[in-house]
Every structure is written in structure tokens, then in C-alpha cells.
């Protein structure tokens, strides 16, 4: 849904230079099978919330993945300041930014964005907070600039005295909660979101997801948490995954993974240790600084594996400069002596 994607594009493009592949392999034990998850969906989403977070205020109780981005801290970070120009290289991101500017909605006006996804990945909720984001004139302007006035893709309506947005022919609904808050939801989640907006409904912070959120550093600029394996058929050995990112001085990352057993957590750590060793060798061959790997910490506590890593802004700039030089060398035309010759391929690391 392009219209719903519009309200999330700022968050999805909020890590310039970061490439995430949905096909990345999750380390998992090959010799053991994950025990069956004996806690059903009802059990996972029952009981009192284990943590109270403003970011969860409009999230339905059956959400399996939640995330928050503090846009003000993101936009003020050295990493964003050094890389914000990359957003204009993506046509859709640039088009969205141009529409925001034309409608007097600068990035500085945006405060935060919250996202949630259900277990099948088919229902999405996005809550956007920022000065003036819910004002009717600006919403109408967005429809004109970004959707060419197409009422099927972006339509403003009224219901019971409240302003609503119908996106993509009603596949998603936007609720203007206040002048500085708009909450969007897929049609299948709309009734649950309405209940949450009214102050009712269940919090998602129960069961495994609640435990994961309670252990997460939600004071970071960006954080996320998800219950598994409902969201990850490719990672049956994991019960939950979470992460927090700090951008105040470079990049600091903390990941938490809860395995199905302590033994599996240990095996996952062993696999990550092996990959870090291989990565260190590759960095050395490429003349890239290895100091960052010295600050990678892998700790196992029971069934929980925690990964911590950090890069100072100067290290990020140095790595990027080296990569840029390497890229320029690769693009340089071949010399006359070497024309037509194919360079030998480097052998892949042994697995």
C-alpha cells in the first residue's frame, strides 16, 4: 500500500548507509530441533502489561513486532547530519521529502514514529507524531502533491466529528487523534486501533513480548522488539528478538535474542564468534580498521544472547572514505596492458 508506506518512509529510510536484507541467514543450531512452543497465542497476549510505554498507546494487543523511532534525536545525530543527502538519491524518498516541504511539514517538525506488525505481517499500524501533521490543510496538501489528488489513494472524510483518511481505497485508515498525531492502520486492524485510541483494548506488552520489552533499553533513539517464531519461520530456534540503537555519538547497537534453550543460545554464540573471526580477516585484507570488532561483545545469560557493538563517528567516516576509494578504484577503466583480461576471483571463506 503506497499511501500507508508514505507515513513509514521516514522511519524505513532513517538509517542512511544501512542495508538490511530480508534473505540474511539467521545463525541457528543444526544439530538440535527447537522444542514446540507450548504457549498459545491467547496465553501470550493475556495478563497485565509488564511495561508501560507511550509508544504502545495505540498498538493492538495482538501485535507481534513493535518499533519506535525518536525522529528528533535521529535528525540531530552526527550520523544523520553526515548522511542525510543519501535520502535524496532514492526517488521515492525524495518525492516524499519534496511533498512534505511543499506542504510546510519540515523534518524538524516531526517528533516520532511508532510501528507495529501482526504475526502474519499482513496488518500494520503506524503512528506519526509531529507539529501540524494532523491539520486538515496539510493532509489535503499531501494528497495533492504526493498522490496527485487521487481520492482513491488518499481521501479525507469525516465520521462522528472526527477526521479520517482513507488510503488505497480503504485498505488502510488514518485517524487524526490530535493536531500533532495521526494513527494509520490496515483495514483488518482498524477496529482494534479505534479501541486503543479510545483508551481501551489490550496492551501488547504481555507474555514473551512483554518480557522482551521490559528488558529492552527503550531510552535509545531507535528500538524494536518482536516475538518469535510467529514472525520468523526461518528462525525456529529463537523465541524473541529485540534491539536498541543509539546515534548520539556515532552508532551503538544492542541486540537481544532469546533462544529456545541455553544450549541453543551457546551454539548461536559460537556461530557468531566464527563469523566475527572471518569478518576480521576480511577487514584486514581490505585495509579497513579492525578496532570496531574489539568492541563487539557477545554474552550468554541462560537462554538469552546479547550482542553489543559500537562505532565512533570518526571511525564511520574513515570506513566510508576507504570504501569510497575502493569503489572508485573498481570503476576506473582498465589499463591498456590489462585490457580484456579478467582478474582472478578471490576464494570464498571456508564455511
106 vs 129 pLDDT, higher one = 129
What is the pLDDT, as a whole number, of residue 231? 56
For the stretch 58-74, pLDDT in tens is 999 999 999 999 999 99
* Angstrom distance (rounded) from CA 172 to CA 200: 21
**306: pLDDT strictly greater than 50:** yes
Q: What's the helix, strand, coil split of the chain in %, to 5?
A: 40, 25, 40
Could you tell me which residue, 29 or 290, shows the higher pLDDT?
290
pLDDT number for residue 5: 47
Would you state the pLDDT for residue 348?
Answer: 47
Res. 88 pLDDT band, cuts 50 70 90: confident
Across the range 261-278, mean pLDDT stands at 92
pLDDT over 70 (residue 102): yes
- Residue 209 grid cell: 513480548
The reply to whether the predicted model has a pTM over 0.85 is no
Is residue 326 scored above 80 in pLDDT? no
Mean pLDDT over 230-256 rounds to 83
pLDDT per position as a tens digit, 117-174: 998 888 999 999 999 999 999 999 999 999 999 999 999 999 888 999 999 999 999 9
Q: Strand 222-227 and strand 181-186: pairing?
A: unpaired
When pLDDT is averaged across residues 76-84 and rounded to a whole number, the result is 88
Query: How far, rounded to the nearest angstrom, does the alpha carbon of residue 162 sit from its chain's CA centroid?
Result: 30
Q: How confident is the model at residue 233 (pLDDT cuts 50, 70, 90)?
A: low
Q: Which pLDDT does position 293 carry in this prediction?
A: 82
Q: What's the pLDDT at 207?
A: 86
The pLDDT mean for the chain works out to: 81
Query: How many helices (H) and strands (E) are present in the chain, helices listed first?
Result: 11, 12
What span, in angstroms and rounded, lies between the C-alpha atoms of 56 and 66? 8
Would the pLDDT of 7 be above 60? no
Q: Any residues with CB less than 8 A from the CB of 276 and at least 6 apart, and which?
A: 293, 296, 298
The pLDDT, as a whole number, for residue 333 is: 61
- pLDDT higher than 60, residue 202: yes
**Per-residue pLDDT for 329 more than 90?**
no
How many percent of the chain have pLDDT more than 70? 77
Can you read off the three cell numbers belonging to residue 31? 544439530
Greater pLDDT, 165 or 232: 165
Amino acid at each position: 500500500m503506497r499511501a500507508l508506506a508514505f507515513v513509514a518512509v521516514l522511519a524505513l529510510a532513517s538509517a542512511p548507509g544501512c542495508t538490511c536484507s530480508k534473505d540474511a541467514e539467521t545463525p541457528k543450531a543444526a544439530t538440535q530441533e527447537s522444542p514446540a512452543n507450548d504457549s498459545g497465542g491467547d496465553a501470550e497476549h493475556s495478563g497485565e502489561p509488564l511495561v508501560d510505554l507511550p509508544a504502545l498507546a495505540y498498538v493492538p494487543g495482538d501485535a507481534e513486532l513493535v518499533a519506535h523511532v525518536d525522529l528528533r534525536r535521529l535528525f540531530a545525530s552526527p550520523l544523520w547530519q553526515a548522511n542525510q543527502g543519501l535520502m535524496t538519491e532514492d526517488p521515492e524518498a525524495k518525492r516524499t521529502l519534496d511533498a512534505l516541504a511543499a506542504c510546510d511539514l519540515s523534518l524538524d517538525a516531526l517528533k516520532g514514529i511508532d510501528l507495529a506488525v501482526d504475526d502474519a505481517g499482513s496488518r500494520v499500524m503506524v503512528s506519526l507524531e509531529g507539529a501540524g501533521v494532523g491539520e486538515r490543510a496539510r493532509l489535503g496538501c499531501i494528497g495533492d502533491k504526493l498522490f496527485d489528488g487521487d481520492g482513491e489513494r488518499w481521501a479525507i472524510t469525516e465520521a462522528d466529528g472526527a477526521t479520517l483518511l482513507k488510503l488505497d481505497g480503504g485498505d488502510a485508515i488514518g485517524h487524526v487523534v490530535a493536531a500533532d498525531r495521526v494513527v494509520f492502520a490496515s483495514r483488518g486492524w482498524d477496529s482494534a486501533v479505534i479501541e486503543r485510541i479510545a483508551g481501551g483494548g489490550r496492551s501488547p506488552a504481555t507474555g514473551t513480548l512483554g518480557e522482551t520489552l521490559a528488558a529492552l533499553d527503550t531510552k535509545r533513539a531507535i528500538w524494536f522488539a518482536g516475538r518469535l517464531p510467529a514472525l520468523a519461520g526461518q528462525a525456529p530456534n529463537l523465541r524473541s528478538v529485540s534491539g536498541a540503537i543509539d546515534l548520539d555519538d556515532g552508532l551503538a547497537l544492542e541486540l537481544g535474542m532469546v533462544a529456545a534453550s541455553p544450549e541453543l543460545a551457546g551454539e548461536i554464540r559460537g556461530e557468531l564468534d566464527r563469523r566475527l573471526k572471518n569478518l576480521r580477516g576480511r577487514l584486514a585484507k581490505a585495509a579497513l580498521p579492525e578496532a570496531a570488532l574489539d568492541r563487539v561483545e557477545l554474552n550468554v545469560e541462560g537462554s538469552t544472547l546479547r550482542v553489543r557493538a559500537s562505532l565512533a563517528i570518526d571511525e564511520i567516516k574513515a570506513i566510508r572514505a576507504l570504501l569510497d576509494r575502493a569503489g572508485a578504484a573498481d570503476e576506473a577503466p582498465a589499463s591498456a596492458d590489462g585490457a580484456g583480461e579478467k582478474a582472478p576471483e578471490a576464494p570464498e571463506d571456508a564455511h
